[in-house]
Amino acid sequence: MKGSPSRSERGMALTEVALLLLALSVVLALVVDIGRAYFERWRMQNAADAAALAGTRALYLEGATRAQEVAADYARRNGAKEVLVTVDPEAKMVRVKAKTDFPTFVAGILGIETLAADNPAAAVHGPVVAITGGGVYPIAIDDDYWPFEEGRVYDIWVGQEPGNFGWLSWDGTMSEGYLADCLAHPSKSAEYVNPETGQRDGLETGKWVWGRPGVANSISVRDALDYLKDNQIPITIVVWDDTKGSGSNAQYHIRGFAQFVITDYRLPSRNRISGRFQNGIATVKVTIDEHADDADFGLHGVKLTE
């Protein structure tokens, strides 16, 4: 029969337990505090991303000084304690570094009382060259008007081919009801069908889009135009540089996209829709190319680059 453990054996067992508990405490410190560090880095990355995008939008619309202010404000409102903002108007870019620090929970017993998290982000603005998420109105304007002047009113409802007046059809449907629906619901531009391929592949510079023939003057068309005019809603429209076909076979070649606010219309007496041009930032899903100067008609988007 074995005897009871000796005092020395019991002491060794207690020492081993103590060392094991210490090791577990260290592991717990790593799990808790490193997990918190990952969370804070994620939070600072979101803060930097949001600040860079907001600052870049401000850079395009309001200038470098305002971009600095907006980016710093966004970063701080998203939890950053320290913010470094660099604005480069020539590169159309805003860089942001967002930083914070936070107390540790358990690692303080090892002398690590605080940890820091900082993350950079950069964004650029550039002309919209493709729109895939809807948001375009079925109206086309001739690029002969370019360069557009901020705040100037243009007759945006014009046409080139016989029987066409600048209306568009996203999928080749020519009914007036479809036109009114597209004027009331710009999201329908996401249903664009490429006339050359028959595929739904998104509105993009270099592609063709169907023109709709004739004057449209139904109550539903006028109601849609009245709503846009009365509420001064900015509308994104296609800028074209070439046409082909005629009547219901007419097509417009997309050179870019521009933003206007409808100020007046005369249907059918003068066959005219007038709108005030304004530079703008797209609020739908777009593709931009900061180097595509030929496609720059004042409508820009922003994207993160790092």
pLDDT of residue 37: 83
pLDDT of residue 3: 54
Which amino acid, 8?
Answer: S
2 in any annotated domain: no
End-to-end CA distance of the chain: 72
* 155 and 270 in a common domain: yes
74 in any annotated domain: yes
Give the span between the Cα atoms of 282 and 287, in whole angstroms.
Answer: 10
pLDDT of residue 217: 84
pLDDT of residue 133: 85
Give the span between the Cα atoms of 14 and 222, in whole angstroms.
Answer: 88
301 in any annotated domain: no
* 278 and 137 in a common domain: yes
Q: Which whole-number Å values give the CA distances from 217 to 4, 167, 179, in the listed order? A: 104, 12, 11
305 in any annotated domain: no
Domain end, chosen from 109, 126, 143, is at 126
pLDDT of residue 15: 66
Q: Which long-range contacts (CB under 8 A, 24 or more apart) does 227-232 make?
A: 227/184, 228/137, 228/183, 228/262, 229/262, 229/263, 229/264, 229/265, 232/261
3 in any annotated domain: no
Each residue of 141-181: pLDDT tens digit?
Answer: 999 889 999 999 998 865 444 455 679 999 999 999 999 99
* 143 and 121 in a common domain: no
* 122 and 150 in a common domain: no
Token readout for 40 is: 């804070």
Each residue of 172-212: pLDDT tens digit?
Answer: 999 999 999 999 999 999 999 999 999 998 999 999 999 98
294 in any annotated domain: no
pLDDT of residue 159: 46
Domain end, chosen from 97, 126, 155, is at 126
Q: Which structural domain, as residue segments, surrounds residue 240?
A: 133-284
297 in any annotated domain: no
298 in any annotated domain: no
Domain end, chosen from 126, 151, 170, is at 126
* 144 and 91 in a common domain: no
Domain count, the chain: 2
Residues of the chain with pLDDT under 50: 1, 9-10, 159-162
